[in-house]
Structure 1
Amino acid sequence: MSPGDRERALLDLVRSEIATVLGIRSPSTLDINRPLRELGLDSLMAVELRSRLGAATGLRLQTTLLFDHPTPSALANLLGDKLLPKEESAPAPAELDKLDRVLSELYENEATREDLIVRMQAMLSKWTRLRDESADAGLVNKLRSVTDEELLGLFDEEFMSDKDSPA
C-alpha cells in the first residue's frame, strides 16, 4: 500500500468511527479540519471514540487524545505516526535483528546466556524507565497548558459515568 493510500485508509477509519459515535450516516461528509467539539462531540463521546480507535488500531491511546488532536485530520496523522513509523526509524529493527543473530552465535552455553539475559533485562528496564519518565514529563507540560474547561472535561471522561452524571 502506498503512503497516500495508507493516509486515506486511516482518515477513512477515523471518519467512520467519528460518524458512528456522532450518529452521522455518511462519514465522507465530515470536514476533516473541523474540531470535533464543533461537530457535537462531548466528553462521553470522546471516551467512546478513543476506545473505538484504540480497538480498531490496537493502540493504547492517551486520555488527552482529542484535546491534543482535535480534528479528524490530526487524529489520522497521529495514528499514522504511531502505526507507520517514519522511514528514518526503520534501521533500528534491522539493527536489533542483527544483534539477535550475533548474540545467538556468541552465547551458546547456558552460563553466558544467563548473564546476557540479566544484562539485557537491566538495559530494557533502563529504556522503559526513560520512556515512562519522558511520557510523564510530556503529560505535565500538557496539563500546565490545559484550560479549566478542558481539565473538567478530562475529569468527567475518567470518573463520571452516565449514572453518576448530575441530572
Structure 2
Amino acid sequence: MLTGLVRSNAATVLGHTTPDAVPLDGGFLDNGFDSLAAVDLRNRLNTVTGLRLPPTLVFDYPTPNALAQHIAEEILGEDGEDSEVETLGDLSVLTMLNALEKQLSSDTLDSSLFADVASRLNGLVTLVRSKADEGGEDEDIEFATDEELFSMLDEHFDK
C-alpha cells in the first residue's frame, strides 16, 4: 500500500497520469527527479503520512520500494510495532483507504486473501462505528430536514 502511495505521489510530481509510469525499483533520479521535485514529493508524503521526512528523501531512499520501506519503518518502527507516530491524520487514512480499495480491485491480489481481508475489514468497521458513536451529540446535517437545520441554527445562535 505504501509503495502505491509513493508511486502515485511521484507520478503526480513528475506529471504522469498513472503511478505505473514510476517503476518500483527504478531510481527517482533516473526517472527525472531533481532537487525541486524531491522536495515536492517529500512535502506531499509529509502531508499524507503525518511524518516529518527529510528533504534528501529521494537521495537517501532512491527507489519507490526503498522509500516505502523507510516510511513503513517510520510508522511502525523497525520491529513492526508502533513508533512515536500516534496518528496519520484523517487525510492519510482516507488516502490509505483509497489505495487499499484500488489494490483490492486489481487482479493482482491472491484470491485466497479475500476471506482474511474481509474479516479484518469487518473488525475495522466495528471499531470505526464504535468511535463514531462515541462522538456524542454531533448531528449529521447531511441528512437533516429543513426544520432540523433551522433548529440547529437557532440553538447555535441562541434565538
User: TM-score, normalised to structure 1's length?
Assistant: 0.46
Q: Which has the higher helix share?
A: 1
Structure with bigger RCO (C-alpha 8 Å, 6+ apart) = 1
